[in-house]
Amino acid sequence: MDTSELLIAMRRNVEQVAAFNELAKALTSTLDLKEVLDLLMQKVAELLKPAHWSLVLFDEASGELYFERVVGEAASKLEHQRFAPGEGIAGVAFTTGQTQVVNDVSAEPRFSPRFDRVTEFRTRSVLAVPLKVRGKPVGVLELVGTAGAPPFSAEDQQAAGAIADFAAIAIDNAHNFRRVQELTLTDEHTGLFNARHLRALLDHEVLRANRFNHPLSLVFIDLDNFKRINDGFGHLAGSALLKEVGEVLKSGIRQVDAAFRYGGDEFVLLLVETPAAGAKIVAERLRDAFRGRKFLKGQSQPVTMTASFGVASYPKDAEDGTALIKAADRAMYQVKASGRNDVAYAS
C-alpha cells in the first residue's frame, strides 16, 4: 500500500470512528423506541449507503420475524410482512446468530426461491447481521447492494456489525423503559390502565373538553356478586375472570377511548368527545355483552357475570374530573339499589 492509499484508508477510519461516536450519542439520547429505530435507519444510510435496507425484529408472542423498518425500492412489498425464523437470509442470520454474507443470491439455492419475497433482488449481494442482547438474537439488520455493484466488503461487514451492536443495546433499553412505563400505568391482572393513570388522563381530557367545547363522558362499572367467584372457585379464578372482563371492556370501546381498573371489581371507561346519550349506548352494549357471555370456560363449569353501569358526562353532570367520577359512581349505585345488571344516568 503506497502513501496515498494509506492516507485514504486512515481518513476513512477516522471518519468511521467519528460516525460511530455520533451514532452512539444519537441512540443513547432517547428511550423512545420509534425515535431509536428512525435514528438507526438514518445512520445506516449515512454510513453504509446500501440500495435497500431493513430492520427485522422478533415477535416473542407469535414466534415470528417481521419487517419493522424498510427503506428502499421494496419498502411497500416488505413492510410489516412476517416470516418464520430460519426462512431467507435474515431468518438464517437470526437462528444461527451469525452474520450472513451472500454475494449473489441467485447462486444460493437455499435463499433464491424466497429471498424476502422480492424477485428483482435475487442477483444482488446481501448482508444480514443479527442484533444480539446478552448473546440472544432479537432481530436482524439486513442490507441489499445495488444491482451490478461489488459485493459487501470486509469493512462493510465490520461497520454493519458495529451498527448492529449499538442498535441492539438501544432497542433493548427502549423496550425496558417501555415495560417500566407500562408497569406504572397498567393493572397487572387485566392489562387495563390503572386508577393513577385515570386521574392524570381525566384531568387532561377535562382541560381539552373545555378548550374545544366537546362533551366528555365517564362510565363507572361494578361487577355484580363478584365475591361468589372468589369464594366458590378461588382467587386464581377470580383473577382470570377479571382479565376476561378487561378484554370485554377493551373490545367494546373505540381506540381513542380508554378503559381502567379502578380497584377490586370496579372499572371505569373514559369516552372522549362523547355526550351522555352516546355513553349510555356504549354502556348498554357492554351490559348486553356481559349478559350473553360465559366466563371461565376453562373451568369445569363456566359462569355468568353481570355488571352495574353508571354514566355521567362533563360538563352536564360535574364541574371537574373528580366530581365526574363521583357522579358516575352514584349512578352505578342507583343500579345496585334497584336490582343490579343495568345502566343509569347520573342525572
pLDDT greater at residue 331 or residue 52:
331
25/254: higher pLDDT: 254
CB–CB of 166/82 below 8 Å?
A: no
Three cell numbers at 30? 432517547
Quick one: fold of 3-184? Beta-Lactamase (3.30.450)
pLDDT of residue 115 exceeding 50: no
Written as nine digits, the cell of 197 is 393513570
Looking at residue 79, its pLDDT comes to 73
Cα angle 39-43-47, degrees, rounded to a multiple of 5:
175
List, in order, residues 6 or more apart from 114 with CB less than 8 Å away: 87, 88
Which regions of the chain carry the CATH code 3.30.70.270?
193-345
> From the candidates 187, 265, 329, 342, which is the catalytic residue?
265
Structure confidence by residue, pLDDT tens digits, 185-244: 888 889 899 998 999 899 989 998 998 899 999 999 999 999 999 888 888 899 999 999
Residues 6+ apart with CB under 8 A from 64: 58, 82, 83, 84, 85
Checking if the pLDDT of 48 tops 90, the result is no
Overall average pLDDT of the 70-88 stretch: 82
Q: Is the pLDDT of residue 111 over 60?
A: no
pLDDT, tens only, 91-105: 999 999 999 998 877
Every domain of the chain with CATH number 3.30.450.40 lies at 3-184
> For 264-302, how does the pLDDT look when each residue is reduced to its tens digit (9 = 90+)?
999 999 999 999 999 999 999 999 999 999 999 877 788
**pLDDT at res. 22:** 64
pLDDT at 47 over 80: no
Residue 13's pLDDT is 58
Looking at the domain covering 193-345, what would its CATH class be?
Answer: alpha beta
Q: What percent of the chain has a predicted confidence (pLDDT) above 90?
A: 46
Helices 195-212 + 321-337 axis angle, to 10: 110
Q: DSSP letters along 55-96, please?
A: EEEEETTTTEEEEEEEESTTHHHHTT-EE-TTSHHHHHHHHH
265 is catalytic: yes
Residue that wins the pLDDT comparison between 98 and 170: 98
Mean pLDDT of the chain: 84
List the Cα angle 129/158/91 in 5-degree steps: 10
Q: Which residue has the cell 431468518?
A: 91
**Percent of the chain whose predicted confidence (pLDDT) is above 70:** 85
**Residue 130, beta-bridge partner list:** 140
pLDDT for position 181: 67
